[in-house]
Chains A and B, each alone.
Chain A
Amino acid sequence: MALDQTDVEKVAHLARLQIEEQDIPEYTRNLTSILDLVSQMQAVDTDDIDPLAHPLDATQRLRHDEVTETNQREHFQKNAPAIEAGLFLVPKVIE
């Protein structure tokens, strides 16, 4: 399947990824060749095959709904680019 530049721009937007204008042709070529590779799968009939999500078919473990972690907000926020009063700062969202 051949992608065009608009497809790549759309996917980049979905991924919230800014890609440089001059890189778009290269990404378009790369993605097209990766999707060509991947399309080999379509030749195989898998209608009766169950999808495999966990290699040992384990299911999600549940735990009791109890608080087990302590509050380490300050410790974790040491890596934050911008904080104030214990909150993460982002550009203004609501006028």
Chain B
Amino acid sequence: MHNKTIAELAKGLADGDFSSVELTRHFLQRINTLDSQYNSFITVTGEQALAQAEAADALRAAGNAGKLAGIPIAHKDIFCTEGVLTTCASKMLSNFVAPYDATVVSRFKQAGLVTLGKTNMDEFAMGSSNENSFYGAVKNPWALGAVPGGSSGGSAAAVAARLVPAATGTDTGGSIRQPAAFCGITGLKPTYGRVSRWGMIAYASSLDQGGPMARTAEDCALLLNEMAGFDPKDSTSLKKAVPDYTADLNQPLAGLRIGLPKEYFGEGLSSEMGDTIMTAVKEFEKLGATIHEISLPNTMLAIPAYYVIAPAEASSNLSRYDGVRFGHRCENPVNLEDLYKRSRGEGFGKEVQRRILVGTYALSEGYYDAYYRKAQRIRRLIQQDFLNAFNEVDLIMGPTTPSEAFDLGSNTDDPVQMYMEDIYTLAVNLAGLPGISVPAGLVNGRPVGLQILAGHFQESQLLNAAHQFQNATNWHQLAPTANQ
């Protein structure tokens, strides 16, 4: 059962091959027996899951079940879940029981999906390796000595290990696409404003976007149908009709124009990666697409612009953790300032502290124009590169990451070295574009991803291309040996 996609599981439930309770028990059993190796879950909500599964089965028996009712999923521990511990993988929130559901969570509940638990992540979504978690690093199911990527590393590892058919993730600078690539699954970052951020613990509000992580593009389309849509509670949510994202999956790709940015195939990309990605691109040529070299001249500026904007917004967002209303509070504060300083000093891990310091510096008196304002201007240049490119091509393709998953502990000494890992993903968030990572092969036995980008709100086109690629290849069907 655990090797089936959501589309297949939905059919099995509809045909009565198995019940949601059976399905839920099966996956809970896998989590209980296997996850000690991967550490992909922070909280498992077995009892609630079984109650939700029974409710889904009852709805189905009464003929009232929606298409995805009874399918188990997991939520990244950044999404608030009412009555369930919601930690953001931080000591700061290690005692926080969310008093309400995030919009994404309540939409999935309404659709009858079953929540198995909350997945591990980099603390406050800050990281590219999932080594910055208060609950310990997540291991990549393909190689236990390798990172799963981050920040949605728990979600990616859990889906790759077949502990859950799909999970939610969030992507501020690549945090859905990069772990999806490292773990050999499919991960979609929607257009900024497409999926509600309400109840999704804020990191960098002008960049954060939630999205689905699953085995196939078709599954991502099914999940996005439930996640996407305007939400009055999110002030940056966009009022725009939600199409059926499965409708265009089977459109032929003949005539599709694909752009390959020369900046994505230059220095820093390993030759094995380059070859693997070009082999994947050739599949699209066989399907009738044409390939064009394009240029995104400001690519290298994405890293500096991102590492001003994201920390600046984080330092502002994380000022809410003050030890007063919720979250960690230090023992015996002598005065209010001591309460703030020690609660925050004890509650936040190192990478979070680093980013708060950088962001506070960038926003401090006399530096705002030179850093934050400057980065926002660069941000427009980066977006303009993409908009120019989309005048000439329909989709942009390239590697999701410069190399395959790196070893645990290998990048932790120098934060700047780690930031370079995000070179192909950051610009997409700065521009607010949708992007997907699909499994494209193995390099040194570890999975790598092909990243596909489209214009704003063109998720259907992305999913169509990814689905046709998956019809023509079987990389997305590979599983880690222990999990076949």
Contact = CB atoms under 8 A, between A and B. Distances in A.
A35 B362 CA distance: 9
Given A17-B356, A34-B358, A82-B329, A51 B379 contact: yes
B364 A11 contact: yes
A71 interface: no
Contact of B324 (A8, A12, A88): A88
A33 B97 CA distance: 37
Which of A15, A53, A60 has the largest number of chain B CB atoms within 10 A?
Answer: A15
Nearest to A16: B340
Contacts of A60: 235
Interface string A73-92: 00110111110000010111
Contacts of B327: 79, 81
B456 A56 contact: yes
B334 A46 contact: no
Contacts of A17: 341, 344-345, 348, 353, 356-357
A50 interface: yes
Given A37-B304, A41-B301, A90 B360 contact: no
Nearest to A79: B326
Interface in A13-68: 14-20, 23, 27, 30-31, 33-42, 44, 46, 49-56, 58, 60-61, 63
B378 interface: yes
A60 B236 CA distance: 7
Contact of A27 (B336, B338, B340, B357): B357
B186 to A, nearest CB: 23
A52 B376 contact: yes
Interface in B5-34: none
B357 A31 contact: yes
A38 B357 contact: no
Contacts of B373: 51
Given A14-B360, A56-B238, A41 B378 contact: yes
Nearest to A33: B416
A2 interface: no
B4 interface: no
Contacts of B305: 41
A6 interface: no
B249 interface: no
Nearest to B356: A15
Contact of A58 (B238, B322, B419): B238
Interface residues on A, range: 35 or more
Contacts of A76: 99
Which of B235, B300, B339, B361 has the largest number of chain A CB atoms within 10 A?
Answer: B361
A36 B231 CA distance: 39
Contacts of A80: 324-326
Contact of B345 (A18, A35, A75): A18
A35 B345 CA distance: 22
A49 B377 contact: yes
A91 B96 contact: no
Which of A30, A37, A55 has the largest number of chain B CB atoms within 10 A?
Answer: A55
A33 B415 contact: yes
Contact of A91 (B232, B238, B333, B371): B333
Nearest to A63: B232
B324 A90 contact: yes
Nearest to B98: A79
B336 A93 contact: yes
Nearest to B381: A49
A51 B357 contact: no
B193 A15 contact: no
Interface in B468-482: none
A20 B342 CA distance: 10
Top 4 A-B pairs, shortest CB-CB distance: A55-B432, A18-B345, A51-B376, A46-B377
23 contacts: A18-B342, A30-B415, A33-B416, A34-B419, A41-B375, A41-B378, A46-B381, A49-B377, A54-B192, A54-B236, A54-B432, A55-B192, A55-B383, A55-B433, A56-B191, A56-B192, A56-B456, A76-B99, A79-B95, A79-B325, A80-B324, A81-B323, A91-B336
